[in-house]
Structure 1
Amino acid sequence: MKNLFLSAAIVLGGLTSFASTSSITNPIVKTVSVQDEYTEIKVVEVPTAVTDALKKAYPDAVLTKAYKNTASQYKLEVAVGDKVGSLYANADGTWIKK
């Protein structure tokens, strides 16, 4: 009989350890995004190297807007048919992945 009470106490004691609550902490993650500020420029102000690269890569593309940042990188808004998108290029016409 003592063994029965002892084993019941051990089993109940073991089950209470599973029922205990643990505190979950949410770590605070700070992200800093560096975004180059682009200012709008006229389409005719885009260097010929960039427009030539655009014509070579996308012959049917129409350059609708252009932007430039302080690092002489260009953001080009282009339309190909009914699709509109943005491309990024350096002043020498090499494409930038963003």
Structure 2
Amino acid sequence: MKKLILSAAIVLGSLTTMSAQEQTEKSTPAAETNTTEQATPATPTYTEIKLEEVPAAVTEALKKAYPEAVLNKASVNEKKEYQLAVKVGDKEGALYADETGKWIQK
């Protein structure tokens, strides 16, 4: 009787171990895929637009924050985020804002 119980315990233990290995093997590729996707985020593509197409909220925010700034170029992406090429004095740079005129750090 002792041998029967011991044999049953060994068989059940080995089945549990095999099941755990199968679950680990199935979940590993998905975990690797998620880390790869997070490591390389997609950069948004900006499309150049006419200066007249920039929302009034964005141009007003620019005038308020940088009264001396001259807007040279404007671009927008699919998220309605605007990239503004501006010149202040002899310095040039890019500013980013959403369609409501809120500044975005990039």
Q: TM-score range by the shorter chain?
A: 0.5 to 0.7
Separation of aligned partners in 2, 1:87 and 1:76: 5
- Which secondary structure does the structure 1 equivalent of 2:42 belong to? coil
The reply on whether 1:53 has 2:52 as its aligned counterpart is: no
The reply on whether 1:86 has 2:100 as its aligned counterpart is: no
Name stretches of at least 5 consecutive residues in structure 2 with no aligned partner. Answer: 1-35
Separation of aligned partners in 1, 2:105 and 2:72: 20
Structure 1 segments (4+ residues) deviating >4 Å: none
Aligned residues: 69
Alpha-carbon distance, 1:33 to partner: 3.5
The residue type paired with residue 54 of structure 1 is L
Question: Alignment RMSD, CA only?
Answer: 1.0
- Which secondary structure does the structure 1 equivalent of 2:83 belong to? strand
Alpha-carbon distance, 1:34 to partner: 1.7
The residue type paired with residue 44 of structure 1 is E
Name the TM-score, length of structure 2 as normaliser.
0.63
Q: Which has the higher helix share?
A: 2
Name the TM-score, length of structure 1 as normaliser.
0.68
Q: Which has the higher strand share?
A: 1
Q: How does 1:71-82 map to 2 (within 5 A)?
A: 71-82=79-90
Name stretches of at least 5 consecutive residues in structure 1 with no aligned partner. Answer: 1-29
Separation of aligned partners in 1, 2:91 and 2:49: 22
Alpha-carbon distance, 1:32 to partner: 1.1
Separation of aligned partners in 2, 1:97 and 1:39: 19
The reply on whether 1:97 has 2:105 as its aligned counterpart is: yes
From 42, 49, 52, the equivalent of 1:44 is: 52
